[in-house]
Amino acid sequence: MSESTHVHKGLEGVIADTTSVSLVDGAAGRLYYRGYAVETLVNKRFAEVMHLVVFGELPDAGRLEEVEEYLWVAGRLPPDLARSLRQIARHGEHPMATLQSIASLLANEPPAISLGRTQQEEEALIVAARLPAAIAMIHAALQDHPEHRYPVSRRYGERYLQLLHGRCPTAAEVSAFESTQILQLDHGFNASTFTARVVTSTLAPATSALSAAMGALYGPLHGAADQQALEMAFEVGEPERAREFVAQCLATGRKVMGMGHREYRVVDPRSRMIRALAQQVARVPDHVKLLDVLSAVDEAFIEQTREKRRTLRANLEFYKGVVYLALGIPKEFFTASFAAARVFGWIAHVIEQRQDNRIIRPAAHYVGPAPRESV
Ligand SMILES: CC(=O)SCCNC(=O)CCNC(=O)[C@H](O)C(C)(C)COP(=O)(O)OP(=O)(O)OC[C@H]1O[C@@H](n2cnc3c(N)ncnc32)[C@H](O)[C@@H]1OP(=O)(O)O
Ligand SMILES: O=C([O-])CC(=O)C(=O)O
């Protein structure tokens, strides 16, 4: 194959466009949103960092209040939409399958509030604002209980957990949840974000881009690794079984979920922070044990992959399940909760793509039959 037909499988290393949303420094293990290291943002309010990611700057106090009010007003599901969603959710599909199906519809019946953006952007923001209530509605429908009353709190994390559980979360729970969500807001041209950009590049509606991105996030090599990493921890069962489990995975070509990353050559900085959060929130013995199992898998994986060409370490997904579980989020709702944060990153990229658009259309190296006579 000549140099001109070199295939970049998985588009590894291909620079498809520029972005000013986030910088992933995979060699140093650093992540920046709009120039700020995530370590300096992780203890802020979620809405502040969301604003930074979507609109480019941290908001002042007045703007933060405006944005939180917007999310609160726009985030309430109109009654008709709520009823339809409940019916669809009762089909019992995975929450991510339901969310992908209904994502575009979430912009219907717009609220009487706006952030003064273009119609496309407003529609995308409405979808994002309504995701927490939609996720809580799916949860209620699957549990067969009525949905909880819409909370009065304007704070994103408090509202999210209250929508799900119907009780006021503690300040520590809100802070652990918002930190986790902040760490998931954006990450360069990851698969779901790139999907959103491909769809946007065709000039399809922004809501279609979000729905397509949701589909990409649902894949276990991407967002759904969170649920699978936790299921793997259940399967391992005891820390003492970790070495044997990892050895078996490596011998049979089974991926250890939550390990490895396309960009990071050292540990994912978010994984370190999420592990620390997990250590703070894991209080009941079952959660402490899960954390012990994951730590043992982590250690065994590092030891047994030492000889690999590429350094493999825990990514964002590996320890996240323990935080979510300790906050009362069932494992089937991990990826949906991830989507509730990443959706704002997708919107930032939809806006950026629209500002300087060219249709995304790579080439393929044809390997089928040579042209032949028709018979
Ligand atoms: C939010 C996110 O999306 S974070 C990523 C979430 N996904 C996961 O955790 C799933 C598990 N991890 C993986 O499948 C991969 O590491 C990915 C998808 C994250 C990255 O994929 P790629 O960059 O294409 O890496 P690739 O699959 O080529 O792996 C390179 C080598 O490491 C190995 N490897 C990578 N990840 C793992 C893993 N989790 N378990 C075992 N081996 C692994 C591969 O088998 C390959 O080995 P080889 O060189 O001997 O062939
Ligand atoms: O960047 C990637 O390939 C995967 C991703 O979304 C993340 O790590 O947050």
Range(s) of the domain holding residue 97: 22-218+333-355
**Which CB contacts under 8 angstroms, 24+ apart, belong to 83-87?**
85/134, 85/137, 85/138, 85/141, 86/137, 86/140, 86/141, 86/147, 87/141
Selected catalytic residue, list 261, 303, 349, 352: 261
**Is the ipTM above a cut-off of 0.90?**
yes
Has residue 4 been placed in a domain? no
Active site residue: 222, 317, 349, 352, which one? Answer: 317
Give the closest ligand to the alpha carbon of residue 213. Answer: 2
Shared domain check, 252 and 180: no
- What residues are in contact with ligand 1 under a 6 Å CB criterion? 10, 190, 221-223, 225, 255-262, 308-310, 312, 315-317
Contact 320, 331 (CB under 8 A): no
Query: What's the predicted TM-score (pTM) here?
Result: 0.97
HSE (CB half, 13 Å, CA atoms) of 128?
30
Spatial separation of the C-alpha atoms in residues 134 and 149, rounded to whole Å? 13
- Which H or E run contains 23? strand 22-25
Which atom of ligand 1 lies closest to the CA of 222? Answer: 3
* In-domain check, residue 14: no
**What pLDDT score does 360 carry?**
98
372 within domain boundaries: no
CA of 112 to the centre of ligand 2 (A): 35
Strand partners, 24: 31
HSE-CB of 45 using CA atoms within 13 angstroms: 17
Residues 76 and 141 in one domain: yes
User: Alpha-carbon distance 183 to 128, whole Å?
Assistant: 17
Active site residue 261: yes
Q: What is the pLDDT of residues 175-190, one digit of tens each?
A: 999 999 999 999 999 9
- The per-residue pLDDT for 114 is 94
pLDDT at 1 (0 to 100): 54
37 and 97 both lie in a single domain: yes
Distance CA 231, CA 237 (A): 10
Residue 187: active-site member: no
Fill in the DSSP letter of residue 163.
H
What distance lies between CA 231 and its chain's CA centroid? 18
Distance, CA 262 to ligand 1 centroid (Å)?
A: 7
**Residue 4: predicted pLDDT:** 61
> How far is the centre of ligand 2, averaged over its atoms, from the C-alpha of 281 (Å)?
24
Per-residue pLDDT reduced to its tens digit, 272-285: 999 999 999 999 99
Nearest Cα neighbor of 309 from 269, 260, 272 is 260
Q: Best substitution site from 259, 298, 304 to test ligand 1's pocket, by max atoms within 8 Å of Cβ?
A: 259
Query: How many A from CA of 103 to the centre of ligand 2?
Result: 21
Q: Which structure tokens are listed for 180?
A: 């986790």
Regarding whether 274 and 212 lie in a shared domain, the answer is no
Could you give the CA distance from residue 9 to residue 330 in angstroms, rounded to a whole number? 35
Question: For residue 87, is it within any domain?
Answer: yes
Sheet (strand 36-37) strand order? 22-25, 30-33, 36-37
Distance from the first to the final alpha carbon of the chain: 31
Is there a domain that residue 365 lies in?
A: no
Same domain, 196 and 159: yes
d(CA 111, CA 127): 11
User: Residue 248 belongs to a domain with what CATH number?
Assistant: 1.10.230.10
Strand spans (E) along 62-134:
none
pLDDT along the chain (375 residues), means of 10: 78 97 97 98 98 98 98 97 96 96 96 94 98 98 95 98 97 98 98 98 98 98 98 98 98 98 95 98 97 98 92 96 98 98 98 98 97 91
* Domain contains 10: no
Residue 230, SS3 per DSSP: helix
Are 154 and 94 contained in the same domain? yes
Same domain, 30 and 76: yes
- In this structure, the answer to whether residues 247 and 198 fall within a common structural domain is no
Q: Are residues 214 and 244 in the same domain?
A: no
Are 135 and 282 within one domain?
no
For tokens 């979620």, the residue is 46
234 and 181 belong to one structural domain: no
- The answer to whether 350 and 206 have CB atoms below 8 angstroms apart is yes
Cα of 356 vs centre of ligand 1, distance in Å, is 32
Distance 22 CA to ligand 2 centre (A): 11
Best of 190, 193, 221 to mutate for ligand 1, by most ligand atoms within 8 A of CB?
Answer: 221
Proximal ligand: closest to the CA of 298 = 1
Q: Residue of the nearest CA to atom 1 in ligand 2? A: 190
Closest C-alpha to ligand 1, atom 26: 262
Indicate if 211 and 96 belong to the same structural domain: yes
- The bound ligand whose nearest atom lies closest to the alpha carbon of 13 is 1
Among protein residues, the one with the nearest Cα to ligand 2's atom 3 is: 190
- Closest ligand to the CA of 24: 2
Pocket around ligand 2: residues whose beta carbon is below 6 Å from it? 187-188, 190, 262-263, 315-316
Give the integer Cα–Cα distance in Å for 309 and 305: 9
Task: For residue 13, tell me if it sits in a domain.
Answer: no
CA distances (Å), origin 120, targets 193, 200, 208, 347:
17, 11, 10, 10
Question: Of 289, 305, 326, which closes a domain?
Answer: 326
pLDDT of amino acid 5: 83
Ligand 1 centroid to Cα of residue 184, in Å, is 19
